[in-house]
Amino acid sequence: MMLSGFQALSFDCYGTLIDWEKGISAVLGPWARSHRSDIDDERLLTIYGEHETRMEAQNPTAPYPDIVARTMMAVGQDLGVPVDRAEAGQLAASVPNWPAFPDSQEALASLAEHYKLFVLSNVDRVSFAGSNQRLGVSFTEIITAEDVGSYKPSARNFEALLACAAQRGVGSDKLLHVAQSAMSPARP
C-alpha cells in the first residue's frame, strides 16, 4: 500500500498505540492473586474483553471509567471473587496510566511530519489526555466515545470520524484508519 496517496491517518488508540493489555493486567492480575485466584493474565483479559464489549453495547453513553468499573465487577462475579467499589475504581482510574507501546511516540512524531493525525477511541477525554501525554504528539483531532455517545464498532463512531476529517479538508478516500486488528471484543 502506498501511503503517499493519503492526507491523514486515524488511529485506534488502545491496542494500537497504547498497550491496554499490560495496563489492565497490571491491576487485574494483582487483584486476582490477592483473592487467591490462580487465573492467568491471558484468561483474565479474555474474560474482561467479553464483558467490556457487552457493557459498551448495553451502556453506549456511559463514561468509559464506568464501563471499566462495571466490567471488573462482572469479571469478579464470573470468578466468584468479590470486587468492592475501591477495587473497581482503581482499574477505572488506571486508564490514563496504561503504557504506550515502545515505538508509538517515535512513529507518531515521524508520521505527524507528513499527515494529519486523528484518534478514534473508545475512551473518554480525561483518560485519553493521560495517554496522549505518553504519546507525545499533538493530534489534529481526537474523537472519543464520550464525544460520539457510542462505542466502536458502532457506525456512528466512524461517521463522526469521517465528518471530522471532512471539516479538516480530508475526504474519505484520503483517510487511512490504522488499527491493531479488525474490531473485536476488548479493544477500547
Same domain membership, residue 86 and residue 29? yes
Count how many domains the chain has. Answer: 2
Give yes or no for residue 184 having a pLDDT over 90.
Answer: no
The CATH number of whichever domain residue 133 belongs to comes to 3.40.50.1000
**Are residue 139 and residue 165 in the same domain, yes or no?**
yes
pLDDT at 183 over 50: no
What is the span of the domain harbouring residue 85? 20-97
Closest CA to 123 of 94, 103, 163, 81: 94
Q: Is residue 13 part of a domain?
A: yes
Give the distance, in angstroms, between the CA of residue 91 and the centroid of all CA atoms in the same chain.
Answer: 14
Same domain, yes or no: 172 and 151: yes
Q: How far is CA 39 from CA 47, 70, 77, 143, in A?
A: 11, 20, 14, 35
Q: What is the CATH number of the domain that holds 32?
A: 1.10.150.750
pLDDT at position 4 is 79
Cell of 61: 453513553
Give the burial string for 50-59 (b: 16+ CB within 10 Å, else e): bbbbebbeee
How high is the mean pLDDT of the chain? 92
Please report the pLDDT score of residue 1 as a whole number.
Answer: 63
Active site residue 124: no
What grid cell was written down for 116?
494529519
Per-residue pLDDT at 89 exceeds 50: yes
Do the beta carbons of residue 122 and residue 107 sit within 8 Å? Answer: no
- Residue 14 is assigned to a structural domain of this protein: yes
Q: What is the pTM of this model?
A: 0.89
Among residues 97, 127, 150, which one ends one of the domains?
97
Residue 185 domain flag: no
Boundary-marking domain end, from 97, 117, 152: 97
Point out the catalytic residue in the list 12, 78, 84, 147. Answer: 12
Examine the domain organization and report whether 47 and 136 are in the same domain: no
**Residues 150-154, mean pLDDT to the nearest whole number:** 93
- Has residue 186 been placed in a domain? no
For residues 86 and 71, the answer to whether their CB atoms sit within 8 Å is no
Instruction: Check pLDDT > 70 for residue 144.
Output: yes
Q: Are residues 89 and 123 in the same domain?
A: no
Residues 140 and 84 grouped into a single domain:
no
pLDDT at position 132: 96
The verdict on residue 187 lying in a domain is: no
Whether residue 184 lies inside any domain: the answer is: no
* Residue where a domain stops, chosen among 81, 97, 113: 97
Same-domain check for residues 119 and 92: no
Q: Is there a single domain that holds both residue 76 and residue 143?
A: no
Q: What DSSP string runs through the chain?
A: --GGG-SEEEE--BTTTB-HHHHHHHHHHHHHHHTT----HHHHHHHHHHHHHHHHHH-TTS-HHHHHHHHHHHHHHHHT----HHHHHHHHHHGGGPPBPTTHHHHHHHHHTTSEEEEEESS-HHHHHHHHHHHT---SEEEEHHHHTS-TTSHHHHHHHHHHHHHTT--GGGEEEE-SSSS-TT--
Whether the per-residue pLDDT at 127 is higher than 50: the answer is yes
In a domain? residue 188: no
